[in-house]
């Protein structure tokens, strides 16, 4: 019998200072329950998806209030659109396509050889999900939905930075799930380390590359497969043919999303050398429209904590001390009061004259600051981008020209969008993930279902002889001649493809 909102008893919320032993007990309980149940039906999977969705939506007001308190200031509209409603399209897609994804896939060519074969998608078991602080709800909710769709049970380690939000979300999930189905744990670094060291059947991590290395190492000791969703310095190229005003308007808005605390934000922008001044002016105009005042504006997202504020402010000051031009884009009467450490309000900032000696040239900003770099040819921009670790996203503004095609062909990134911000992230059913330092593995839709599934091949034999007996001695001269003939034929075929003469 499926649990319903009226019959699901509220479970106790794990304590914030949960021990490593208690974490192991939670995992063991989920593993036992998974083995007892076996792969769940589509009906059960949908029920779990719906319960998790209900837990999110019915606590929307509490979550948005907690998010604002945790950030210092985060507008309700921002939190509703991103952390509460951002994954609803994926919920609909998963629910609609679930049976087709679960269905066995036959291999027709094998059947023709008397070996009927199909591939079965089986749940892996218990999935661990470690979430970030910048979008702390949506970036654990979406992978959990896809892990449920694949038939798994879920343990979530919520970021300790937004502690109020963590408490609300943990309570929301406990109100809809028994801990052997889904559970949210909180806690600081010690808890995070102990969580990563658990022998999950799959571990999913969203966060920084530096922490991702430790997570991957801990998982590796258990041979636990890992999906890493990391970040990086995302480049933008404004093409020579682009409308500079439109590009500046969209890049500035993208840089200010969530106060710049978004792994898909543009980090630096290449602008044709002769159009840099025009771009800066258009960026300033757009910013004054978005934020006619900044110091007391309730629509501003502040930096999440003192540590991130000090880090971003330090990047700007390091660049200034090494000769960069710093342009602060706030009303003149606010210039002397910003940035403000007490309220963690970091103003929108342009950095010009960036050199490799500056930390901002190498470190992901994660704040409302963007570097503007002049370029002459697309080759200049491509060489700069390809000399650095692969970013999570890349952006181009302009027409579908030969320059754009060269940029696409020569660079590698998790995804790419032309003429807008992060569209590749929001296309339902399209895979999302990083590459190299920006991550490994992918999720969203069917790809997420596959990430949390094991593809098991099942073959039956209708042949009159067995494979193993047919390979046993005695090895006759006739059999050896057949094998040598096969080697010669394969060699002739490959030489022909290479255009080589016999």
Name the residues annotated as catalytic: 229, 263
8 A C-beta contact, residue 219 and residue 226: yes
Four-CA torsion 175, 178, 182, 186, nearest 10 degrees:
60
Query: What CA–CA distance (Å, rounded) separates 133 from 455?
Result: 32
Closest alpha carbon to 101 in 444, 475, 494: 444
| 3-class secondary structure per residue, 402-471 | HHHHHHHHHCCCCEEEECCCCHHHHCCCCCECCCHHHEECCECHHHHHHHCEEEEEEECCCCCCCHHHHC
Closest alpha carbon to 365 in 381, 380, 348: 348
Placement of tokens 């007391």 in the chain: 296
Q: Is 458 exposed, middle or buried (0-12, 13-18, 19+ CB in 10 A)?
A: exposed
Four-CA torsion 290, 72, 68, 318, nearest 10 degrees:
60
Closest alpha carbon to 275 in 245, 306, 233: 245
8 A C-beta contact, residue 364 and residue 231: yes
Beta bridge partners of 175: none
Placement of tokens 């290479």 in the chain: 498
| SS3 of residue 384 by DSSP | helix
Helix residue ranges per DSSP H, 125-243 = 138-149, 163-174, 189-196, 209-221
Record the tokens describing residue 259, joined without a space: 């106060």
**Cα angle at 169 between 260 and 214, to 5 degrees?**
60
8 A C-beta contact, residue 147 and residue 173: no
Q: In degrees rounded to 5, what are phi and psi of residue 326?
A: -105, 120
Backbone dihedral region for residue 174 (phi beyond 0: left; psi -120 to 50: alpha; all else: beta): alpha
8 A C-beta contact, residue 319 and residue 326: yes
Closest alpha carbon to 99 in 446, 431, 452, 457: 446
């Amino acid at each position: 019998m499926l649990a319903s909102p009226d019959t699901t008893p509220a479970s106790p919320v794990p304590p914030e200072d949960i021990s490593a032993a208690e974490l192991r007990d939670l995992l063991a309980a989920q593993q036992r329950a998974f083995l007892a149940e076996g792969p769940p039906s589509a009906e059960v999977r949908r029920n779990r998806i719906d319960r998790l969705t209900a837990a999110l939506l019915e606590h929307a007001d509490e979550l948005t209030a907690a998010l604002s308190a945790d950030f210092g200031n985060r507008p309700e509209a921002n939190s509703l659109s991103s952390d509460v409603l951002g994954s609803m399209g994926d919920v609909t897609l998963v629910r609609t396509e679930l049976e087709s994804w679960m269905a066995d896939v036959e291999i027709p060519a094998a059947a023709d050889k008397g070996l009927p074969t199909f591939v079965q998608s089986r749940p892996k078991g218990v999935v661990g999900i470690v979430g970030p602080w910048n979008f702390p709800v949506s970036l654990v909710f979406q992978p959990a939905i896809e892990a449920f769709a694949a038939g798994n049970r879920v343990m979530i380690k919520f970021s300790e930075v937004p502690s109020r939000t963590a408490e609300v979300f943990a309570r929301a999930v406990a109100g809809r799930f028994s801990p052997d189905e889904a559970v949210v744990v909180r806690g600081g670094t010690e808890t995070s380390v102990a969580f990563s060291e658990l022998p999950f059947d799959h571990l999913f991590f969203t966060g920084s590359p530096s922490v991702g290395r430790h997570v991957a190492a801990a998982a590796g000791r258990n041979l636990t497969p890992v999906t890493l969703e990391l970040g990086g310095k995302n480049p933008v190229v404004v093409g020579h043919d682009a409308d500079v005003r439109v590009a500046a308007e969209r890049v500035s808005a993208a840089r200010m999303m969530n106060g710049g605390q978004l792994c898909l934000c543009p980090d630096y922008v290449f602008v044709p050398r002769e159009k840099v001044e025009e771009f800066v002016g258009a960026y300033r105009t757009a910013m004054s429209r978005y934020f006619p005042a900044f110091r007391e504006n309730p629509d501003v997202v502040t930096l999440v904590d003192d540590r991130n504020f000090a880090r971003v402010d330090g990047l700007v000051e390091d660049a200034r001390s090494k000769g960069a031009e710093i342009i602060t884009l706030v009303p003149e009467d606010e210039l002397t009061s910003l940035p403000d450490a007490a309220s963690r309000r970091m103003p929108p900032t342009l950095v010009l004259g960036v050199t490799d000696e500056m930390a901002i040239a190498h470190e992901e900003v994660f704040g409302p600051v963007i570097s503007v770099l002049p370029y002459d040819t697309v080759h200049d921009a491509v060489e700069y981008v390809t000399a650095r670790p692969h970013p999570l996203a890349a952006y181009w503004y302009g027409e579908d020209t030969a320059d754009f095609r060269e940029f696409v062909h020569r660079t590698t990134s998790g995804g790419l969008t032309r003429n807008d911000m992060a569209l590749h992230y929001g296309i339902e059913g399209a895979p999302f993930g990083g590459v190299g330092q920006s991550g490994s593995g992918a999720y969203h839709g069917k790809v997420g279902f596959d990430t949390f599934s094991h593809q098991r091949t099942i073959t039956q034999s209708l042949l009159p002889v067995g494979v193993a007996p047919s390979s046993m001695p005695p090895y006759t001269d006739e059999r050896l001649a057949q094998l040598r003939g096969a080697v010669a034929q394969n060699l002739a075929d490959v030489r022909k493809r290479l255009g080589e003469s016999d």
